[in-house]
Amino acid sequence: MDRVTLQDVADRAGISIGTVSNVVRGYQHVSPRMRARVQAAIDELGYRPNGLARSLATGRSRMLGLAFPDLRRPYFAELAHVFARVAESHGYRLLLIETGGTAEGERAVLADREAGTIDALVMHPQMLSAGELDAMRRGMPVVFLGEDPQPATSDQVAIDNVAAAEDAVAHLLGLGRRRIAFLGHEVGEASRTSTLRLEGYRRALAGAGLPDDPTLLVPRDVGDARGAEEALDAALDAGLRMDALLCRDDLAAIGGLRSLRRHGIAVPDDVAVIGWDAIELGASTDPSLTSVAPDTHGLAERALDLVLRELDGAHQGGAHHTVGHRILVRESAPATPR
C-alpha cells in the first residue's frame, strides 16, 4: 500500500489539508470537534507523520542531545534512562553522547551539535572552563549538569553535595559511630564533586566536635570499585580502624564492602557503610547498600523544562537550580543502631 499522506487524511475528513496539518503539528487553535474529526481519519487510514517533512516545516528535529563523560558508570547510565523517559513525556527523544571526560570530547559536542540533528543539549561537563563553555555554547539552548562552576548566563542544575554529605554523616552519627572514614576521592587534583563531598564530610565532623583525622581519608588511584577495594585493603593492612565508612560513590562502596568482608569486618555491626548515587546494583549487594540518593527525576525534569522553555523563547538562560536528595536506608547502615 502506498504511504498515506496528509492529503489522504484531508480527503477522508472532508476538510482542508491546512487544518489537518495544524492538528498534526499540535497547533492549539483548533476546536476539539475538528481535532476529533481529523484524529478519526488518521486512525482509520493509519497515517504516520513524515519526520523529515515535519522537521523542515517546524524547524525542530524533536531530538535532544544528552552528553555524559562515561556511560560505563552506572549513575550516568541510569540517569540517561530517567532523562529518556522525561523527554518522551514532552514529545522528544534523546541522542546520547559520550564525551570521554576529555576537553576534546566536550569541545566536539559543543562545536558540531551533532551536525544539526538536535534542537538543544543537556551536558555534564568536567574539563572545560566556564569561560570556554560560555564561548562555545552560543547558538543553541544548553543546560549544564553537575557541580563545576558554569557561566552566569547559562542554565545549570545540580545537587547540593555539601549538604548531602552532611546528611550522610549525620545518619552515621545517629547510629553512634564516631570514627567515620571517607573512601574513594581522587589522588592528586580532586574533582569538584569530590571536593564538595569532602567539605560536607568535614563540616559534619566538626559540627559534632570530632577531629579532622587525615588517616580516615582513603583515596583511590582508579575511580572504580576495584580501585576502591585495593585502596581500602592497603589502609586496613596499614592499621586503619573505623566504625563507619562514607564513600564517594556507590562503586567505591561496593569495593569497600568486598575489602571489609575479606578482612573479617562485619557490616553494619563493626562498620556501617554509606554509598552515593543509589544505583540499582546497591539493592543487590550483601548487605544491601545505604546510599545518598539524588532526586534524578527532579534533575531531569528541571533540566528539560529549562531547555524547552529556552527553545520556545520563554527563557533566556542564567538559571541555576539545586534539586534535592535523601538517604536511601538499607542494610549497610540501618535506620537504628544494631
Per-position DSSP letters for 139-193, written without gaps between them: TS-EEEESSS---TTSEEEEE-HHHHHHHHHHHHHHTT---EEEEEEESSS--HH
Tens of pLDDT, residue by residue over 251-287, are 999 999 999 999 999 999 999 999 999 999 999 999 9
pLDDT above 90 covers a percentage of the chain that reads 58
CA distances from 247 to 6, 108, 157, 198, 310 (A): 57, 33, 23, 10, 37
What band does 1 get if pLDDT is binned at 50, 70 and 90?
A: very low
Tens of pLDDT, residue by residue over 221-237, are 888 999 999 999 999 99
- What is the predicted pLDDT for the residue at 222? 82
- What is the predicted pLDDT for the residue at 51? 47
Among the listed ranges 25-29, 33-37, 109-113, 187-191, which one has the minimum average pLDDT value? Answer: 25-29
- Let me know if the fold of 63-159+296-323 is the same as that of 161-294: yes
- What is the predicted pLDDT for the residue at 295? 97
User: Closest by alpha carbon to 250, among 216, 217, 284, 221?
Assistant: 284
- What is the predicted pLDDT for the residue at 9? 86
Asked if 284 and 257 count as a contact pair (C-beta separation under 8 A), the reply is no
The pLDDT mean for the chain works out to: 88
pTM: 0.80
Top CATH class, 161-294 = alpha beta
Question: Does the pLDDT at position 53 exceed 80?
Answer: no
Q: What is the architecture of the domain spanning 63-159+296-323? A: 3-Layer(aba) Sandwich (3.40)
Question: Does the pLDDT at position 52 exceed 50?
Answer: no
CA distances from 73 to 37, 65, 78, 255 (A): 48, 18, 9, 14
For 6-47, the fitting CATH number among 3.30.470.10, 3.30.70.580, 1.10.1370.30, 1.10.260.40 is: 1.10.260.40
Angle, alpha carbons 86-105-72 (nearest 5°): 55
Mean pLDDT of 6-16: 86
Asked if 221 and 248 count as a contact pair (C-beta separation under 8 A), the reply is no
Question: Does the pLDDT at position 45 exceed 60?
Answer: yes
Strand partners, 155: 143
Tens of pLDDT, residue by residue over 283-302, are 999 999 999 999 999 999 99
What band does 247 get if pLDDT is binned at 50, 70 and 90?
A: very high
What band does 60 get if pLDDT is binned at 50, 70 and 90?
A: low
Distance of alpha carbon 225 from alpha carbon 258, whole angstroms:
9
The single residue listed with the C-alpha cell 532526586 is: 295
Mean pLDDT of 107-116: 74
- What is the predicted pLDDT for the residue at 25? 59
**Domain ranges (residues) in the chain:** 6-47, 63-159+296-323, 161-294
Question: Does the pLDDT at position 54 exceed 70?
Answer: no
- What is the predicted pLDDT for the residue at 2? 57
Determine if the peptide bond prior to 334 is cis (ω within 30°): no
Question: Does the pLDDT at position 56 exceed 60?
Answer: no
